[in-house]
Structure 1
């Protein structure tokens, strides 16, 4: 249930796991703790907490970090702010779930990101677990697997993914609302984090055309008779 509130201390989901890969399958780790995710990630990061966006901004399919956007099966996806911080929130025009008996967020990746983290917020502790699915570029997938709520509705539920294969989509399916017993629990997404792209040294950038020329000359060289 959506109740505007400030973020509290991030707590562990208890779902952190390392899953062994099959042949030609992605190897990945799913985290329920932001500190552990960032420690394993290492290096600088880019983050998005949506505080710079005006309240009510349409965010359906809008890229908010390089190569990352979100859509929903509901009517609208907007920046929402109550008494606390701003976040991504999906809205149905008539009532949550009027487009069907489920509500979901799809996180899309148009660049080859191999790591991402984010918070699921406003998750009622009395609700059943929601379901999360992760898809990878090599066709491998994980889930759907259950993600339980935090200790309170103000406790963010962190999800982090670290993989050796680019991620193509993450889907968060909300559970039924624990009060109405119908679709669906009103959660939001916030505090996205990805590894920061490391730029090439200027000297290497200037040298790349020469490397390309050398490679082309080598490729066209005819074998001796």
Structure 2
């Protein structure tokens, strides 16, 4: 019996999807939806992180150039930037701790550090929201695609046995449909893993930047505390 090669149209991605078993179709649709969701998260987080880094650098430069921190805080405290939140938390704790008859210097320094560290952690957690979805897609999608492949191949072998024909024209389409599910799983997983690593690295760099700002601002307030104690104010 001559071997009949499957046509190119029959092996196109659209035909592979349309001819697949219902279970494999559901797997493919789920993986495609995960891929779309993944790319939406990648673009939104990458653009937002780049914008925040640029604005943070500008904010910090203006902050250290300001002659009056209270006036600067009054002008810029409403900005929705992590560094602005850290600044506001520090100044709020500073006013609470120094607006007493007797100022506890050690306690004030400890509370300032605690408030700023908590503000940095909260802002990093907020910015990292939904990045865990990328990690989940990156780790789960290949196995979901593999499940579709295994199911499709099982169905293909069942069809081959029923047709009592092992020619390429009978075998190839079913196996191709099944392997297509794995390909879609990898298509969803690979960008998710790469983006998760890159975005997490960018978030770590922003956290380090906020940490350096906190340390420097904490030192500034500590020196100011020494001046106030020395002058009796």
Larger radius of gyration: 2
User: Which structure's relative contact order is higher, taking Cα pairs within 8 Å and 6+ residues apart?
Assistant: 2
TM more than 0.5: no
Normalising by the smaller structure, the TM-score range is under 0.3
More helix by share: 2
